[in-house]
Structure 1
Amino acid sequence: MFYPDYRFKKISDIRPDFLLGRGLRFLVLDVDNTLTTHGHPVPAKGVLEWLQEMSQAGIQSVILSNNNAKRVEPFAGKLGLPYIADGRKPLCSGYERCLNLLHCRKEEMAAIGDQLFTDILGARRFGIASILVDPIQAEDFWLFKCKRTLENGLLCYYKKQGRSGYDG
């Protein structure tokens, strides 16, 4: 349940032809440490260009974040994307709302995020493709450090099983 379907170093490494070749035309995007660093109001370098490239290829995106609307709304506005705040990942309700918002089928949708226990687990539980990206920046908060330690342990286990390679 924690292993992603695909893995990339950063979000801009994911190419439209990779997604379209797998029938993926709708993306559910995490915010913190996927599109920008934690709490930062500006997208990371290359994110706006990447989103434009996705849009030009006919790939639609929505933001799904566990953050509140006060954090997510202004950020989503800068990207020109619809959003769902308080997404309650890894529960399925936020993903269901994204599916309804985008008017698509699960087979056409992928979730992209940096955390195994929220983004990847939520996508897998909901039955959509999951794409793990490396976090943009290491977090200082103790809870994140604990989660990253557990995630790294799982990724090391997967590597020993021969499943750790990057797709891009």
Structure 2
Amino acid sequence: MKHPLLPDYDFDTYKGVTPEFMKSIGKTCILCDIDNTLVPYDEPLPTDDVLRWVESHRAAGIKIVLVSNNDKERVEKFNEKLNIPCMHKSGKPSKKTVKRALVLLDEKKENAIMLGDQLLTDVITARLSGITAVWVPTIKKVETAFFRFKSAIEKPFIKHYYKKKAKKNK
């Protein structure tokens, strides 16, 4: 059984999740976090790199839905230029989040990955739902007590993941 806090794959940034990678693992849709996965949490709009990344997937026939626990105003503002399905106050790590996202995309869970920077929300959401988990490091640390607490919990698991990955690659 897979560990609930360890991803299936990891990349330095979201850009590692290319259409070629998606094809290589047989997946056709991405449930994607926004804050600190695609842009820093205080960046209201997608960067040109994010716009190009979304367009490259769209051109390859890969569907993307933004899945955020942030509020409606933040998510809709971010999505204006992207014009892709999106969910605000999504309820991660609930399994219902994935079910609703897959309905929006008209996809099956076997075709999906969850891309995010948080083990305690994004990776657990994927694990609880039986979809592939792809983790990227947080772009910009959030300096609130809640996020420091979450980071302290996640740190040993991230260390364990990299140790396990290093052993596997020997």
Q: TM over 0.5: same fold?
A: yes
Q: How does 1:54-73 map to 2 (within 5 A)?
A: 54-73=57-76
User: Relative to structure 2, which stretch is displaced further, 146-155 or 89-98?
Assistant: 146-155
State the SS of the aligned residue for 1:79: coil
Matching residue of 2:77: 74
Indicate which of 16, 20, 25 corresponds to 1:22: 25
Bigger drift between 148-157 and 122-131 goes to 148-157
Q: Is the 8 A contact 2:39 2:139 kept in 1?
A: yes
Q: Which residue number corresponds to residue 85 of structure 1? A: 88
What is residue 43 of structure 2 aligned with on the other side?
Answer: 40
CA-atom RMSD in angstroms: 1.5
Residue number in structure 2 paired with 1:157: 160
CA 1:134–1:25: 2 relative to 1, 3 Å: same
Matches within 5 A, 1:84-103: 84-103=87-106
Amino acid at match of 2:121: T
User: 1:45 Cα deviation (Å)?
Assistant: 5.3
CA distance in 2, matches of 1:78, 1:149: 35
| TM-score when normalising by structure 1 | 0.92
Map of 1:125 onto structure 2: 128
- 2:34 pairs with 1:31: yes
Deviation digits for residues 72-125 of structure 1 (CA, Å, limit 9, x no counterpart): 111112221111111110011111101111111111011100000000001110
* TM-score, normalization by structure 2: 0.91
Moved beyond 3 Å, runs of 4+: none
Note if contact 1:39-1:71 (Cα within 8 Å) is conserved in structure 2: no
Q: What stretches of structure 1 of length at least 5 have no aligned partner?
A: none
Paired residues of 2:29 and 2:112 also in contact (CA < 8 A): yes
Q: Give distance in 2, aligned partners of 1:41 and 1:164.
A: 36
CA contact (8 A) 1:37 1:44 kept: no
- Tell me, in whole angstroms, the C-alpha distance in 1 between the residues paired with 2:110 and 2:166: 23
CA distance in 2, matches of 1:3, 1:52: 29
CA distance in 2, matches of 1:72, 1:156: 31
Tell me, yes or no, if the aligned pair for 1:155 and 1:164 is still in contact at 8 Å: no
Identity, % of aligned pairs?
34
Alignment-mate amino acid for residue 147 of structure 1: K
Relative distance call for 1:61 and 1:164 in structure 2 (3 A) is farther
Pairwise CA distance, 1:39: 3.3
Measure the CA separation in 1 of the matches of 2:38 and 2:48: 9
Q: Distance in 1 between matches of 2:125 and 2:46?
A: 23
Cα-to-partner distance string for 1:105-152 (whole Å, 9 max, x where unaligned): 111011100000000001110111110011111111121112112211
Q: Distance in 1 between matches of 2:35 and 2:23?
A: 25
* Correspondence 1:105-144 to 2 at 5 A: 105-144=108-147
